[in-house]
Amino acid sequence: MRQYLRLPAGVVACVAVVSVAIAAPRGWFAPLSTVIPNQNADGVIEVLAQGEGPVIVLLPSLGRSASDFDLIAERLADAGYRVLRPQPRGIGKSIAPMADLNLHDYASDVAAVIEQDQRGPAFVVGHAFGNRVARMLATDRPELVAAVGLIAANIGKAPNTPKVREAIRKSASPALPEAERIKALQFAFFAPGNDPRAWLKGWYPGVLAAESAASDRTSRQEDFAAGQAPILYVQPAHDPLAHVEDAKAYKEQFADRVTVVVIEQASHAVIVEQPEAVSAALIAYACKLWPGQAAN
């Protein structure tokens, strides 16, 4: 794991304290599923919650569920944090309108979760599509956000290319032959040498379509800066959707507000390719947000 900024000594010490939890999570905190209302959306949101301590919210990628963060959530909870994972609309028990949405709507779902929990502000971490929701929340409701975490963030100001969009569509389509899906998954999501079969399952095509439309409906300028929040930018080293050069440019634009960490041997599916490295990066940054917090 390569970092562009040197971590303060206190953060390094905190990471050392939780290194055992990263290597072998104790599993003390099993996730508890609850359903909360989002009155602004005329719907309900399922939330997986585990752990105690400062709040970290994890938001999944396009067309995928909060379960993609299972290993990371366990490690964060074992390290002394309260982890909240809202299921996107259309997944699990999360039921709300899915037509004519924009990213403000998805951000309002996360805002409802943090407000209901009453332990914020939170470190809001978004993987891929989830990073735009995290940035939009920091823009719309800055009082709820202690910091933003961007994982495999396509930070460019233009949508994905048609080739990338086609690969995403094929990856998520159970109607296609497995070999064709694996080829698409390998191109779009997994680094050379990493097995893409982990993501043959877990796709929600209807959710993917709704989230894609909401993303297209929202100007990238609206959420680009994530308000004024501090930002951790977790960048996979081999990602055709989110490029290392973009992470560097983002850091140059926003300077000390942004910390960049590069994860080696990973692509867009970094949270399942390298969960230990991602967990370590999140815990290191959380230690800086909340000094003195250590594993129980």
Tell me which residue of 229, 228, 90 sits closest to 149, measured CA to CA: 229
pLDDT score recorded for residue 22: 52
Are the beta carbons of 155 and 250 closer than 8 angstroms?
Answer: yes
- pLDDT tens digits for 195-224? 999 999 999 999 999 999 999 999 999 999
- Cβ count near 3 (within 10 Å): 12
Number of residues assigned to the chain: 296
pLDDT of residue 194: 94
Tally Cβ neighbours within 10 Å of residue 204.
Answer: 20
79/17 Cα distance (integer angstroms): 9
Residues of the chain with pLDDT under 50: 1-13, 16-17, 20-21, 24, 296
pLDDT recorded at residue 222: 94
Q: What separation, in Å, do the N-terminal and C-terminal C-alpha atoms of the chain show?
A: 25
Q: What is the pLDDT of residue 157?
A: 58
| Structural domains of the chain sorted by starting position, each given as residue range(s) with its CATH number in brackets | 2-157+192-289 (3.40.50.1820)
pLDDT at residue 108, as a whole number: 95
Partners of 26 in the β-ladder: none
Residues whose CB falls within 8 Å of the CB of residue 106, separated by 6 or more in sequence, listed in order: 88, 89, 133, 136, 211, 214
